[in-house]
Each structure stands twice: as structure tokens, then as C-alpha cells.
Amino acid sequence: MEMPEQIETSRLRLQRLKYEDAPEIFYTYASKPEATKYLSWPTHEAMKETRLFLRYAIASWKSQTDFSYAIRLKNSNRFVGSFGVINDKGKIQFGYVLGPLHWRNGYATEACRAMLDVLKRRPEVFRIGTFVDAENVASAKVLFKCGLEEEAQLVKWFRFVNQGNEPKDCILFKLPL
């Protein structure tokens, strides 16, 4: 599956991640426990971890299995977060993270809507979905606003490494296609 290297909305620009984004990723969200609480990977303690992630992200884009984007404000080019799309032969899972300074501005909803519009037009895509920790009310609200439906409540379904690695209840979402 091919994806555009850039997607624009009225306020945002989603651009393919590059090595030069490492400091912005690290300082905006990857090193912030409050931002990584609900993510599947551990909070970064050193820039080296962010650079390793970028090595993975760039290689995965080339293999067309995982597409990672920077989320930037169009008017200032300020880095506010990231958006990722995993492609499993047309079954799509996605996620996003914003730096805490950029929460409650509608950026996650705007980025998500733009990405879903792109994904819905891909002929090879047959399913689009994601899951969230049942306690992650803010992300659940974003997903509902973007037209996703709750598909299932999953009891003790995922271990979030930044929450003591204990199994947590999750909500599975899907986009009706």
C-alpha cells in the first residue's frame, strides 16, 4: 500500500517522519510520561531510543507496513505530535500521540479525520480500526467524533508498559466502511 508523504488540513500538516525529527519527538511527547501513559512502547529516557524508533519508522515506510507521520501546525511548522498507520495486508490499525502542551485543541480529531479520509479511498483497505485503554476517555471521544464505532469491550486485553505492565481493559473501535 502506498501512502502520501504529506497530508494537509486547515490547521495541520502531516508529514512523513524523518531522522531530523528526533529532538522534536523526544521533547514534545516521547520523554513525557503523561503523553506515553496509554502507548504500547516505553517512555523514552534518552534520545538514542527516539533515534532507534526513527530507524524502524523509516524502514517500515519503505516496506509499506507502517507509516509514521509528524503532526505539525501549518502556520508555524511547530511539531505537536505523531500519527501512525500499520498496514496488515489491507487491515489497518492506527494511533496518534500529541505532546501535552497541545492537548484540547482539536488537533487529534483533525489529524484523525484527514488520515481516515485518505485510508477510506485506498482500494486495498478492507478494515480500519484501533483500540484504546478503557480509561483513555479523551482518545475514545476523538474516535467517536471521527465516525468510528465501538466494536467490543476487551477485558484485560493489553499490557501498557507505562502503567505497570498489568493487563488493562480496552475498547476496540472500527470504522464502518
Type of residue at 127: R
CB of 80 closer than 8 Å to CB of 102: yes
Q: Return the bridge partners of 172, or none.
A: 131, 152
Cβ neighbours of residue 171 closer than 8 Å, sequence gap 6 or more? 131, 132, 134, 140, 150, 152, 153, 154
Instruction: Output the pLDDT for position 36.
Output: 98
Instruction: State the total domains in the chain.
Output: 1
The CA angle 108-97-79, to the nearest 5 degrees, is 80
Instruction: Output the pLDDT for position 135.
Output: 97
- The DSSP bridge pattern shows strands 66-73 and 12-16 to be antiparallel
Residue 58 placed within a domain: yes
- Grid cell at residue 52: 532507534
Which domain range does residue 78 map to? 6-129
SS3 call for 19: helix
Residue 31 placed within a domain: yes
Instruction: Output the pLDDT for position 103.
Output: 98
SS3 call for 79: strand
Q: Which DSSP helix (H) or strand (E) runs through 128? A: strand 127-133
Residue 75 placed within a domain: yes
H helix intervals, the chain? 22-25, 33-36, 47-63, 107-120, 137-145
Residue 42 placed within a domain: yes
pLDDT tens string 112-144: 999 999 999 999 999 999 999 999 999 999 999
Q: Return the bridge partners of 167, or none.
A: 159
How many residues are there in the chain?
177
Residue 142 placed within a domain: no
What CATH number does the domain containing 101 carry?
3.40.630.30
Residue 169 placed within a domain: no
Q: At what angle do helices 137-145 and 107-120 cross, to 10 degrees?
A: 50
Residue 34 placed within a domain: yes
Weakly modelled stretches of the chain, pLDDT under 70: none
Residue 139 placed within a domain: no
Instruction: Output the pLDDT for position 177.
Output: 85
- Grid cell at residue 135: 480509561
Q: Express as a percent the part of the chain with pLDDT over 90.
A: 99
